[in-house]
């Protein structure tokens, strides 16, 4: 994932900034595999930098406004 060069007022500059996107999703266990496959298909370009999908367990969720917990808060 290298940057690229741009020409500005006759001078060449190296642009190291590469925009990235981070998406966080909380799902029930039954929806995880489908979500992984959908994200993978949508994000895959076949080039370096397609990204990664991390899966981790969420121990608890609390909706601050209502006090709901667990899947009711999701």
Which residues are CB-neighbours of 44 under 8 A, at least 6 positions away? 50
Output the CA torsion 32→24→20→55 (10° steps).
-40
pLDDT tens digits, 1-40: 666 788 889 888 888 777 788 999 999 899 999 999 999 9
Confidence of residue 74 (pLDDT cuts 50, 70, 90): confident
- Domain 22-72: state its class: alpha beta
Residue 60 confidence (pLDDT): 95
């Amino acid at each position: 994932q290298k940057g690229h060069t741009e020409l500005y007022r006759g001078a060449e500059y190296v642009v190291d900034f590469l925009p990235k996107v981070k998406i966080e999703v909380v799902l029930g266990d039954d929806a995880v595999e489908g979500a992984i496959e959908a994200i993978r298909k949508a994000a895959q370009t076949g080039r370096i930098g397609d990204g990664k999908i991390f899966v981790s367990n969420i121990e608890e969720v609390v909706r601050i406004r209502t006090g709901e917990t667990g899947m009711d808060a999701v």
